[in-house]
């Protein structure tokens, strides 16, 4: 059996609950869990917010040399947004603008086609708005943009990220669940006492066993205001 393991994590700009900013701790978490692909929200490299242009390298390390940065906001060489890092080559990287209202924080999605050991895998990471009206629009825009991509052959799809949807039942979740298969996982926010399922995963991967679970643990709880999800594919 061949396995690919992903980490989906809103890292809160790299700042932990103790106020420290140390991305090497998240790199260490990926090393301990033997993560192949990391899908991050709230990646921060802007100097005015405490970031460094070298933060992507610190987070990914030499073990995951393939990266797809998806800036939502930029400042000189620094940026803030989504990031995908991978042990395997990213053979196509797309940045989807979800057309959020100009008065609000821009929202985007990183769309990486990855050449894994047993074939191609399409991984999409995103972070939707706090506004329910914007979330609905962004989700529909994302599905439209994803489906507009022309591929010579259909690859297994994983969609994951901080969806910011805490209302249940929800027309947004019903819509996404009709497009892709949702994976059950426990609440992730706030990390100290999680009660909201803000971070979610969907897939379209026929013939592959896909599971997701929330990471517990006192040390992990303090890395961010969200808890991470581990997603596993078994071929």
User: Could you read off the pLDDT of 90-106 as tens digits, one per residue?
Assistant: 999 999 999 999 999 99
Region 20-47: mean pLDDT is 97
Q: What integer pLDDT is reported at residue 55 of this predicted model?
A: 97
Of 113, 57, 111, the C-alpha closest to 89 is 113
Please give the Cα distance from 67 to 84 (Å, whole number): 6
pLDDT in tens, 153-181: 889 999 999 999 988 879 999 999 999 99
Residue 206 has pLDDT above 90, yes or no: yes
218 pLDDT higher than 80 = no
Q: Has residue 152 got a pLDDT over 80?
A: no
Percent of the chain scoring above 90 in pLDDT? 91
Q: Is 13 left (phi over 0), alpha (psi -120 to 50) or beta?
A: left
Taking residues 191-211, report their average pLDDT: 96
In a 3-state reduction of DSSP, which class is residue 1?
coil
- Residue 126 backbone class (left: φ over 0; alpha: ψ -120 to 50; beta: rest): beta
pLDDT band at 79 (very low <50, low <70, confident <90, very high): very high
Return the half-sphere exposure (C-beta side, CA atoms, 13 A cut-off) of residue 116. 21
pLDDT grade for 45, boundaries at 50, 70 and 90: very high
Sign of CA dihedral 212, 213, 219, 224: positive
Mean pLDDT along residues 29-37: 97
Mean confidence (pLDDT) of the chain: 95
pLDDT at residue 1 greater than cutoff 80 = no
Collapsing DSSP states into helix, strand and coil, what is residue 77? Answer: coil
The string of pLDDT tens digits covering residues 101-141 is 999 999 999 999 999 998 999 999 999 999 999 999 999 99
> Which pLDDT value is given to residue 216?
83
Question: Residue 87 and residue 138: Cα distance in Å, rounded?
Answer: 29
pLDDT in the model for residue 36: 98
């Amino acid at each position: 059996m061949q396995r690919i393991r992903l980490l989906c994590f809103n890292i809160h700009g790299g700042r932990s609950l103790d106020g420290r900013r140390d991305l090497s701790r998240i790199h260490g978490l990926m090393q301990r869990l033997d993560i192949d692909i990391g899908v991050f929200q709230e990646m921060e490299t802007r100097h005015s917010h405490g970031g460094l242009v070298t933060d992507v390298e610190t987070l990914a390390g030499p073990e995951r040399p393939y990266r797809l940065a998806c800036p939502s906001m930029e400042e000189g060489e620094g940026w803030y947004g989504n990031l995908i890092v991978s042990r395997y080559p990213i053979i196509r990287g797309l940045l989807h603008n979800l057309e959020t209202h100009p008065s609000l924080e821009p929202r985007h999605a990183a769309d990486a086609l990855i050449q894994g050991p047993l074939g191609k895998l399409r991984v999409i990471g995103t972070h939707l708005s706090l506004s329910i009206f914007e979330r609905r629009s962004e989700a529909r825009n994302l599905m439209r943009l994803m489906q507009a991509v022309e591929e010579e052959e259909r690859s297994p799809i994983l969609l994951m990220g901080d969806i910011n949807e805490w209302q249940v039942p929800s027309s947004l979740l019903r819509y996404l669940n009709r497009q892709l298969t949702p994976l059950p996982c426990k609440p992730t926010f706030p990390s100290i006492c999680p009660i909201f399922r803000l971070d979610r995963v969907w897939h379209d991967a026929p013939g592959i066993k896909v599971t997701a679970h929330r990471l517990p643990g006192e040390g992990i709880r303090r890395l961010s205001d969200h808890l991470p999800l581990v997603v596993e594919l078994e071929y």
